[in-house]
Amino acid sequence: MEEAALRKLIRATLGLAFLAAFSLANTGNAATILIYGQTNGTTDVITETRTATTTTLTTGPGPTASFIPVTITNLGGQTPQGGSIGAFESFTLTGPLASAGATSLDNFSGTIQFSQTPGGVSILTVNLTNGLLTQTGNAATFSSGNSTFTNLNGAIIAQLGGATSGFGGTALSFSNVVGSISTGFTAQNGGDFATVVPEPMSLVSGSIALLTGIGVFGVRRFRAAKA
């Protein structure tokens, strides 16, 4: 019984250490890194196209992605000088085929890019998975909590304390939707991207060491009491 109780105490201590490490590693400050909207009203569109097995969202009037002009109103957590800057957006997001009458569709993955000129110097590249598209009438939303940010503009790098990549969420809104998810549509888009800045790993390591130390201290006391 003594050995069984000792093993139980060790398991409990290590379990607490793991939970503390996991919790701290997944906490941090949410930082908005880019907010934008389309520059041209209804001239440029986002297009949903369908094949026998997939649904694809792209910039441009056809199934091949192209760059469309956008206006960025927040870059690296700050309003750009003059209130906004011009840029170009391109994306291709692919998901499964929507069923007839569907108003939502998940499991999208793909890439969203922002650059100073079409295909030129990068401002932000977003690689995402588990995207969710939802339509309500002539409006729709797209979101993904599993977004990786790379090819960052200097303002974003500065906001992230010098980090050249980040992880966080994507939130897009589609307006003037003509058509539907289950039949194909065109729309305009805008949105924002936010990254999570994790707490320093030293805090996580310290918590593990502290909890493990408490556990070891308890085990020693347990052994001493039974000696």
Give tens-digit pLDDT for 77-124: 999 999 999 999 999 999 999 999 999 999 999 999 999 999 899 999
The tally of domains found in the chain comes to: 1
The pLDDT score that the predictor gives to residue 197 is 59
Return the closest-CA partner of residue 68 out of 219, 182, 186, 227: 186
pLDDT at position 211 over 70: no
CA triple 43-48-54, angle to 5 deg? 160
Secondary structure, 3-state, 111-176: EEEEECCCCCCEEEEEEEEEEEEEEECCEEEEEEEEEEEECCCHHHHHHCCCCCCEEEEEEEEEEE
Question: Is residue 224 situated within a structural domain?
Answer: no
pLDDT of residue 226: 52
Q: Which residue has the higher pLDDT, 185 or 14?
A: 185
Residue 161 lies in a domain: yes
Q: Tell me how far CA of residue 167 lies from CA of 37, 58, 80, 126, in angstroms.
A: 22, 23, 23, 9
pLDDT for res 125: 97
Considering the domain boundaries, does residue 210 fall inside one? no
Long-range contacts, 213-220 (Cβ 8 Å, 24+): 214/13, 215/9, 215/10, 215/12, 215/13, 215/14, 215/16, 215/17, 216/13, 218/9, 218/13, 219/6, 219/9, 219/10, 219/13
Task: Determine the structural domain holding residue 145 and report its residue range.
Answer: 29-198
Q: For position 61, what pLDDT does the model report?
A: 74
Average model confidence (pLDDT) across the chain: 80
Instruction: Tell me if 135 is assigned to some domain.
Output: yes
| Mean pLDDT, rounded, for 123-140 | 97
For the cut 70, the answer to whether the pLDDT of residue 62 exceeds it is no
